[in-house]
Structure 1
Amino acid sequence: MDAILKRRAAAVLTKNEAQFLADVDPKNAKLVAAQKVLFENLVQFGFVKLNYLQDRPQFEQKLIDKYGPTTYLVSVVMSYQIGGIDDQLVKAPLGYMFVQRGGRYLLINDTYMDSALPIGAHKEAWDVGPVLVRRGARALVVVERGKAGLAKSILADAESAVRAVNKLWSANWRGGGLVIALDDKVVRTADYTKPKDAEDFLAVATHVYRTLPGEVQAEGEDGGAYVIVNPRYRDELDARVLAHEFTHVATAPYGPDAPRWLVEGTAEYVEQLPMDGERDLDLARYRRMIRSKYLNKVKALPADPVFYASMDSSYPIGWYAVDYLVDKYGATKLAKLYQELARQGFSQNQRDLIMTAQLGRTEAQLFADLKKR
């Protein structure tokens, strides 16, 4: 089984379709066709590393009864690194079913275990149908096969967005931006069949993992993120939207514990920076509007539990706080503060300790500074 999985990974890296299909049941025409599409998709992504590794064999008597005693059901870890995108190896879970025929094992099913896998598993961009992949220096765009014009347009915006993010995170972000802009409404952990998500979000950054959920900790350890575009708003996508989401991509490996006002405020800050192909924004006017319309009416920075319930005010106030931090302390200090809070800001007391050590003030004192700005 290890040899079969090793052959499949090597086939992708060497672009050898015959080798990739050699261990697939040739009598299952539907599976062979699906695996052929999968191979054609995978070879476009530019993996620099790829391995399929056995995780845990499973036993179900009904499968033995149906397919015979050689049936082998196993969870599999796809460990990979896309060149120019992933700055480390990341992982995705799969499930395969094999059976022995004619003295050798053949793949007969790769979807049976999907319902037992974590949410978003086996829904990667290469899993959803024929795709077209276009690459820039540090950006990758995925669209339906045949939509080359759309890919070219999104790629130009993506490369502009990468440069904007790099202005703030140049010392820390070595990866790139992967943008998935497909007709499918469910890709990875993005689900645009949900009415609220379909209405509210142009795009969302979905985490990729260096350790899978349950492997080391319950949630899994973040290794980055890929951006999934809402099909409903695909024509409204621009460099600023992607810069916002790529900021989440760049900061995902730091950890999950930074306050929401800092997470979204930083992404908003990058979104508003001068950017190739986008007109400069009147930020002085934006500051005045935030002070009069939002800041003067609240008594604290938006708390995590209510941040997304009041997005109209939470996002601008978060931006205003980050804008102040960069203006007073500089981008390097902001980046260091973000990293420490993301790693260890799991409580208000802990956040205040970190902020006092970094800035000499608590979150409440920072808010007081904003009111006096």
Structure 2
Amino acid sequence: MSRAWLSSLLLVPLLACQAQPPADDGPSPRDLPDSSGAPAGMDESLRDAALDVVEARERALVDGDREAFLATVDPDELGFSATQARWFDNLAQLPVTDVSYELGDEDVMTRVAGDGDLQLPVDFTMRLRGFDRRPVTQRMVWTFVRNGDGALLVEDRNSQIDAQTGWTPAPWDLAHIDVRRSGGILAVFDEDTAEHGSYVMSDLAEATRVVRRHLPQWSGKFVAYGISDVTAIDAMSAMTVEDTAAVAFPVLSRPGGPAAAYRFAVNPTVVGDVLARGRVFRHELVHVALGTTDDRSPQWLVEGTAEYVARSVLPVDDRRRIAAQELFGISGRALEPSRRFYTRDPLVSYALSSLVCDYLASTRGEGVLWDLVRTFQTEQLSTWAESEDVVQRELGLSTDQLSTQALAWARSA
């Protein structure tokens, strides 16, 4: 149940500049013209035709014209054609608006390996109506081949650009999806997880009601992913996939830009877990509801508040007894403020931070938690160690003292 941010990895590109030799019997429609001598991916004589393809694909996507959209794809590329058809069908299920394809920053082409006849940077923009605060732009590199006097698309992704921008695939990029919507909730399943869809939607609605009682300023609108492919979860979680129930994450309006929305992805093992998923949903929805508000908070507070809300449906004495069992033999200690929270005994980290937040809320009032989050939002900390000074100033105790008192409180239930 860790909070995750999309990371940007930089790979060193390999430039492939080998020209395609002419065929003995003259160039075929897919060959580069003999006279061009253009390296792979750099045949500028194909540029106008390629830009026509870009325009045609935007028009087809806006119009919902599946046949026109697929007509821009090389039919000989069977795998790519199939994934493009699936992707178009997936988007047709979503409340997509503000769709556009535009020529991107061509300076990036110096960092991309050549392929096909021509490669061009293309920025794809879309917004999920009612869920994204602003459109989301994704940087791509498209690969074209010559087709008579025109061009066809043979690939729309590039691993080097994806690594530089930190692109993480959405469910509609990975599999056939099944979209469910109820009020302000939009959930995305696949063919394997859809059987649990009705129950999940009910649990999401109940989790939303619980979180809004604690954070009434939140709109209650969100998008949740629950598919079998754990590629995105694996990329975003600080823990192993097996130890990660779900991740909440921002969807950036552009690489390095402001967040357009906060969403969460659930491990498929949780989707079908009747006992666990309500607690997981409540936990992740606290992250979604807070958005950027707790960006500057120490990790124990980020996760502790979310887990406190997740457990809040239980009577307080039950929560105390559960915490005492989970933390049997554990003594008070300073709470982990950094990302080491997820790698240094995360089970204890979660249980202890949850208990401390529950103790504070139960003995001083829940408002003390949200006040502390807001305080950290305006603090300028140069090291995480300085977060202890903020806690001491605001609460009159160190996190070591807080955890010691919280453990005594739990064990006295």
Higher strand share: 1
Matches of 2:336 and 2:192, distance apart in 1:
44
Residues 290-314 of structure 1: per-residue CA shift (max 9 Å, x gap): 4684697113233435423222322
Within the candidate set 354, 362, 373, 1:319 is matched to 354
Structure 2 counterpart of 1:226: 263
Matched, 1:351 2:351: no
Structure 1 counterpart of 2:81: 32
Per-residue deviation at 1:128? Answer: 0.9
Structure 2 counterpart of 1:297: 331
Within the candidate set 123, 136, 152, 1:106 is matched to 152
Per-residue deviation at 1:271? Answer: 0.9
Matched ranges for 1:1-373 at <5 A: 4-5=53-54, 8-9=57-58, 11-57=60-106, 58-59=109-110, 63=114, 67=117, 71-74=118-121, 76-111=122-157, 113-118=158-163, 121=167, 123-145=169-191, 148-171=194-217, 173-174=218-219, 176-187=221-232, 190=235, 197-212=240-255, 215=256, 221-236=258-273, 237-254=276-293, 256-274=295-313, 281-288=314-321, 290=323, 293=327, 297-304=331-338, 306-308=340-342, 309-327=344-362, 330-332=365-367, 334-342=369-377, 344=379, 346=381, 347-348=383-384, 351=387, 355=391, 363=399, 370=406
Is the Cα–Cα contact under 8 Å of residues 224 and 253 in structure 1 kept in the other structure?
no
Change (3 A) 1:226 1:360: same
Residues 88-107 of structure 1: per-residue CA shift (max 9 Å, x gap): 43344433223454444432
Letter in 1 for 2:265: I
Letter in 2 for 1:180: Y
The structure whose RCO (Cα within 8 Å, separation 6+) is larger is 2
1:117 match: secondary structure: helix
Structure 2 residue ranges without an equivalent (≥5): 1-49
**Matched pairs, number:** 352
Letter in 1 for 2:347: D
| RMSD, aligned α-carbons | 3.7
1:78 match: secondary structure: strand
2:178 match: secondary structure: strand
Matches of 1:101 and 1:161, distance apart in 2:
53
Is the Cα–Cα contact under 8 Å of residues 332 and 404 in structure 2 kept in the other structure?
no
Matches of 1:209 and 1:287, distance apart in 2:
38
Change (3 A) 1:287 1:142: same
Residues 199-234 of structure 1: per-residue CA shift (max 9 Å, x gap): 32222224422341xx46xxxx54444322223444
Higher Rg of the two aligned structures:
2
Per-residue deviation at 1:197? Answer: 2.0
Change (3 A) 1:349 1:310: closer
Matches of 1:226 and 1:98, distance apart in 2:
33
Is the Cα–Cα contact under 8 Å of residues 78 and 93 in structure 1 kept in the other structure?
yes
Change (3 A) 1:199 1:28: closer
Change (3 A) 1:18 1:188: farther
After TM superposition, the score normalised by the length of structure 1 is: 0.77
Matches of 1:62 and 1:273, distance apart in 2:
53
After TM superposition, the score normalised by the length of structure 2 is: 0.71
